Structure 1
Amino acid sequence: MGLSLRTSRFRGAVYFGSKNLLPRNLETMKTRKFLGISLSLIIINLAAIMERADENLLPAVYKEVSEAFSAGPSDLGYLTFVRNFVQGLASPVAGILAINYDRPTVLAIGTLCWALSTAAVGASKYFLQVAFWRAVNGFGLAIVIPALQSFIADSYKDGVRGAGFGFLNLVGTVGGIGGGAIATVMAGNDFWGVPGWRCAFIMMATLSCLIGFLVFQFVVDPRRISTDHDTGKISNREKLIDKSNTSSVTVWSESLAAMKSVMKVQTFQFIVLQGLVGSIPWTAIVFFTFWFELIGFDHNGAATLVSLFAAGCALGSFLGGVIADRLSQIYPHSGRIMCAQFSSFMGIPFSLFLLRVIPQNVSSYYIFAVTLFIMGLTISWCATATNGPMFAEVVPANHRTMIYAFDRAFEVSFSSFAAPVVGILSEKIYGYDPKSVDPLLGSTREAFALSRGLLAMMVVPFGLCSLFYTPLYWTFKQDRENARTASIKETEML
């Protein structure tokens, strides 16, 4: 009897002890999940900083590269074209890789690829070598950018996804400001007998390699973290990985199915349509540093002006994401679209004022500074307020990297023509002559010619971009409902 009582008490203690320990275990799981996601997001944001810094390196030293390789604006435009064109063509590779492998591994490979190509550009002796390594750089970025975007989409809920994309763009732009400013300032000096612009490329490549190592070692794919407390349940992501290890035929069949699914979404089609023209001005903007130096600003002055524009874009992208999140709660099917149309339309008056109204001389420094900051604050909403969040809502979760990859493929490939066209217009139509440029004082005449080329590639595309968002008022609601239905069916099949 006593033994039986002690046993029953022991069993009761074990039972009640297990019951008491269960919430603690759940809290521990939640804490570990939170810490894992938080650490991953921190490193992912560091990767975004380095990615944007790498993108801004070459435009920041266009003047020095022009002198080193005797290249005019059209030649410099071809360098941007080569990188962007390869990036566009290779972007679907990111979608295929992310379906079948961990995104941290994909990100690390892409980061290493762009880091090595950046170092190679800094060591190049001939213009064709620079062009080749810029193409390799585009391949690395093609792998990284869609994976970054889908990583953020999976890490935030629908109601705050705009803020998530906005913060990613904010910290990325900080990297762009830092990379561009550091490269511009370093370009005016020599270090141990090596031109400063080359040292900037080597330094950025080293830091990128470090970030790639951190991504590979510490970042956890959010799809591997089960949202259910039942640890016996595995995520759809893990099932895809397991299946990819068994057959290469399965890999390609699933990738092809994802491609077909994404291409049929009307919201995707219209966002890509606006992106084809809407990304053209942003490609043309890479000439801003070169333009300011032609006006007569020194390296520090040009770097400051471009940094102010980038700072405005950084704050604007975050602000636009937050505003769109709030507006989408009031107008769930149209709030984000209205934000995008407002932002793209604002590019028209600001481009006209910047490139035609402000006198192109060094005495206009403060007018340039204020205009560039406010311009960046208002024209930078589309990606974070609308495109990124809406893409995440119109396809199932396991197709998100693919939709971001195809968006990059179409937009970047088409917009890559903008940079050389700016150079061609400046030289062939508006009379830009590289031989007339003074290495220290620039050339007012050539600055004016370049500004005309920039204006042609900014005003009309901004207007068309705003117009092409209009069909989303009719397509977004249905596409979102279709995606939710597909996600429910996939969950039930797990």
Structure 2
Amino acid sequence: MRNRARSSGAWILPSHRKMKARKIFGFSLSLILINLASIMERADENLLPAVYKEVSEAFNAGPTDLGYLTFARNFVQALSSPMAGVLALHYDRPAVLAMGTACWALSTAAVGASQHFGQVAIWRAINGFGLAIVIPALQSFIADSYIAGLRGTGFGLLSLVGSIGGIGGGVLATVMAGREFWGLPGWRCAFIIMASLSLLIGCLVYMLVIDPRRTTLITHGADEDSERTSLVSKGRVPPPSVWSGSWVAMRSVMKVQTFQIIVLQGIVGSLPWTSMVFFTMWFQLIGFDHNSSAALNSLFAIGCATGSLMGGLIADKLSKFYPDTGRIMCAQFSAFMGIPFSWILLAVIPQSVNSWNAFAVTLFLMGLTISWCATCANNPMFAEHLQLDILPRRSMVMIRSL
């Protein structure tokens, strides 16, 4: 049983969760499994875009219909994210991660088994709900696992290993898409395989991961809530509820100007990344075969993975010399670099199969330079400045969800 009660603000933990964190070859088992979960999350995100062409042929769907699939998943994910923050804030994060992983795994398998386009749309929407639960818990877990000044590197490593999953998922689906296995189209088999692996990782996270937040909550939780607990016991204030506390945390988060500016920038900055899900289909329409398209996507993903880690490392170093502007300068550089590389990719390189080398170099350098913002600025700034100076400790995960 993983249930727990709260008394005076402290979490009452089951005995098997109080054990010392396990290590494998000197590395935390919890962090290893969390990174494996990130790998599967990114692999799942890249699975459907990698087989858009085959899905289009199987369901007689055009590019607009395929765009609706991406919209449905992202829309549900956006609506579900605040609730995901509440879950990660008040409940055991490994349990939340396992629940989200199971949700996206089952919906991924259902997409592979769908017989009508409407079924695919419904299951992709449910897939967005699972991803919404997982992402805030993953990021807040990493924020609590690294000390200030190293969180850029920590988020960079998470993005790096996650990108490995994105590469694996995209390559697996693209290569399998043009074949048949046991009488089934390859793209359907890819979905079922990915769902099975995700479900396995979710079970391991549930059973073996230890939340780094527990020690802090056990040692400091009673002090933080002692005054309110005294008032509750005297009947002077009502007992706190999960939703009322979360609403207070959400309001606190949304009043922070740094948060408001980053969110506004993110609304515009996320648009190009959403359109990039059509890269595989675009390459295939140009004339590249499955293997060549998978290789181009892999080079872009490798560049993004390396750039995420590089951006986190550079920003950690630069923030020591320029604590107020170092991370922001790195993010501005990364955002600016998307302009020239997008122009080269879309307007300069001839749209021909003979331009594979030019596409490859441009995509790799583009990924290397445009992927810094989350790891160099957004996530570390949320984890360090807002957590330490502005917001209550338990409001942090609400930032991840919003």
TM-score, shorter chain, exceeding 0.5? yes
Task: Give the Cα separation in 1 of the matches to 2:223 and 2:93.
Answer: 10
Residue type at the aligned position of 1:363: N
Q: 2:253–2:398: 8 Å Cα contact kept in structure 1? A: yes
Give the residue type in structure 2 aligned to 1:361.
S
CA distance in 2, matches of 1:164, 1:178: 21
Aligned to 1:491: none
Larger radius of gyration: 1
How far residue 234 of structure 1 moved from its aligned partner, in angstroms, is: 5.2
Deviation beyond 6 Å, 4+ runs, structure 1: 236-240
Matched, 1:141 2:131: yes
Confirm or deny: 8 A CA contact 1:154 1:397 kept in the other structure: no
Q: Is the 8 A contact 1:108 1:213 kept in 2?
A: yes
Report what 2:14 is aligned to: none
Query: Is contact 1:237–1:398 with CA below 8 Å preserved after alignment?
Result: no
- Cα deviations across residues 423-473 of structure 1 (Å, max 9, x unaligned)? xxxxxxxxxxxxxxxxxxxxxxxxxxxxxxxxxxxxxxxxxxxxxxxxxxx
For structure 1, the residue ranges without an aligned partner over 5 or more in a row are 1-30, 407-494
Task: Summarize the alignment of residues 384-463 of structure 1 with structure 2, pairs less than 5 Å apart.
Answer: 384-393=375-384, 394=386, 395-406=391-402
Partner SS for 1:159: coil
Q: Displacement of 1:173 after TM fit?
A: 0.2
Which digits, 9 at most, give the CA deviation of each residue in 1:349-397, with x for residues without a partner?
0000001100000000011001100000000000000000011121343
Rounded Cα–Cα distance in structure 2 between residues aligned with 1:66 and 1:239: 55
TM-score (norm 2): 0.88
- Name the aligned partner's letter for residue 273 of structure 1: L
**Cα pair 1:236 1:398 within 8 Å, conserved:** no
| Offset of residue 75 of structure 1 | 0.6
Partners of 2:357 and 2:212 in 1: CA distance: 45
How is 1:358-377 mapped onto 2 (pairs within 5 angstroms)? 358-377=349-368
Contact 2:21 2:210 in 1 (8 A): no
Cα deviation, residue 102, structure 1:
0.5
Distance in 1 between residues matched to 2:350 and 2:130, nearest whole Å: 40
Amino acid at match of 2:333: F
Kept after mapping to 1: 8 A contact 2:21/2:29: no
TM-score (norm 1): 0.72
Identify the residue that residue 93 of structure 2 maps to in structure 1: 103
User: Which residue does the alignment assign to 2:319?
Assistant: 328
How many angstroms apart in 2 are the aligned matches of 1:174 and 1:290?
21
* Aligned with 1:70 (options 43, 60, 64): 60
What is the number of residues matched between the two proteins? 368
CA distance 1:84–1:157, shift in 2 (3 Å) = same
Residue of structure 1 equivalent to 2:280: 289
Alignment of 1:175-214 (within 5 A): 175-214=165-204
Identity %: 70
| Deviations 1:86-123, CA, capped at 9 Å, x for gaps | 00010001111112100111000000000000000000
Question: Aligned pair 1:128/2:138, yes or no?
Answer: no
**How far off is 1:163 after superposition?**
0.3
Kindly provide the CA deviation profile for residues 53-94 of structure 1, in whole angstroms up to 9, marking residues without a partner as x: 000000000000000011111110000000001000100011
TM-superposed CA distance for 1:235, in Å, is 4.3
- Structure 2 residues without counterparts, runs of 5 or longer: 1-18, 230-237
Quote the RMSD (CA, aligned, Å). 2.1
Q: Would you say 1:233 and 2:191 are equivalent positions?
A: no
Q: 2:298 matched to 1:307?
A: yes
Q: How much has 1:38 moved relative to structure 2?
A: 1.1
